[in-house]
Amino acid sequence: KAGVTQTPRYLIKTRGQQVTLSCSPISGHRSVSWYQQTPGQGLQFLFEYFSETQRNKGNFPGRFSGRQFSNSRSEMNVSTLELGDSALYLCASTLSAGDTGELFFGEGSRLTVL
């Protein structure tokens, strides 16, 4: 079956702009999590969604937001981009929020802010 799909894979924005990233989880998976990966901070949790509800949020400013749709697809948005937002944004899905099964990661969306 198809894995986690993230779009776009690469994008370049300028400071002050906003960006929306999309994630399609594995079919049947209802929980979607987002992570930011940078050389300076490593992999950091952004938020988790289950059944269109945000269940957890990491320590990121309010410029970072997300949502989940009824088909479990998720989007995250970053407004008023800063240079430090340049990162690989990873989406992961699992069957349910209470499942200890593995998280399946997509290949990420690489954002460059100029």
Shortest Cβ 20–another protein spacing (Å): 19
Which of 85, 108, 111, 113 touches another protein (CB under 8 A)? 108
Shortest Cβ 89–another protein spacing (Å): 10
Cis peptide before 25 (omega within 30 of 0): no
Cβ contact 44:35 at 8 Å: yes
Q: What are 9's two structure tokens? A: 């894979």
Q: Which residues contact 108 (CB under 8 A, 6 or more apart)?
A: 6, 9, 37, 88, 89, 90, 91
44 binds another protein (CB under 8 A): yes
11 binds another protein (CB under 8 A): no
Shortest Cβ 41–another protein spacing (Å): 7
72 binds another protein (CB under 8 A): no
43 binds another protein (CB under 8 A): yes
Burial letters for 35-51: b for 16+ Cβ neighbours within 10 Å, e otherwise?
Answer: bbeeeeeeeeebbbbbe
From the list 77, 90, 79, 88, the residue with the least C-alpha distance to 32 is 90
Which of 40, 59, 62, 70 touches another protein (CB under 8 A)? 40
Binding site for another protein (CB under 8 A): 4, 31-33, 35, 39-45, 48, 50, 55-56, 58, 84, 90, 92, 94, 97-108
